[in-house]
Amino acid sequence: MNWLNYSEACARNQAVILEQLAPLLPTTGTLLEIGSGSGQHVIHFAATLPQLRWQPTDLATNLPALGANLLHFGSDNIDPPLVLDVTAERWPVSAANAVYSANTLHIMGWPQVVALLQGTGRLLKCGGLLCIYGPFRYQGQYTSASNAEFDHWLQQRDPQSGIRDFEAVNAQALAQGLALERDIAMPANNQLLIWHKT
């Protein structure tokens, strides 16, 4: 079987993300992934960190391809994928030791970004981690010309989407009891942001 919805970007960045994440993640417990897409990240991470249970999620429209990939390429420490709309009042997962999401905030509208942070704040246990990977702006400035071009493309496609301002995201995280722990510069002008639940 070939991968469904295969992403070259996922294939390129999964090793460098895991290199940064692995020392920070808990040694046991459940990690919830929001916006699993093709499942490439969760499949790669779960194979290297078998002590964790991995819970992939995505919107209902993306679940058939995700489920097929997990069935073929996944491992026994990955639970079946669940439908998760971050704006839902009740999420299908009630608690987690860590939450991970890659390249999602810039394709959501701002209300969905806020909802993601609110939901994460509700379900994370004290000391639990929120790990977000993707491009950000700082003090209104892009970190590269290519990110500025990408943001222009995103907003032409959907005016509600776009690269988020770190300060606005961090303020919303703080309001949910999430304190910034790490801001790690990553290849291809991306960041890995780590918050912990206070």
Distance CA 3, CA 134 (A): 22
Does the domain at residues 8-197 carry the CATH identifier 3.30.930.10? no
Question: Considering the chain, what is the average pLDDT of its residues?
Answer: 96
Specify the pLDDT at position 49.
96
Count of CA atoms in the C-beta half-sphere (13 A) of 189:
16
Specify the pLDDT at position 37.
96
* Region 76-102 average pLDDT: 96
In single-letter form, the type of residue at position 82 comes to: L
Could you tell me the two tokens for 141? 């400035």
Domain boundaries, the chain: 8-197
Specify the pLDDT at position 1.
79
> Is this model's pTM higher than 0.75 or not?
yes
pLDDT of residue 190 exceeding 90: yes
- Looking at the chain, the whole-number percentage of residues with pLDDT higher than 70 is 100
* Residue 59 CB contacts under 8 Å (≥ 6 apart), including other chains: 83, 84, 85
Distance CA 68, CA 171 (A): 38
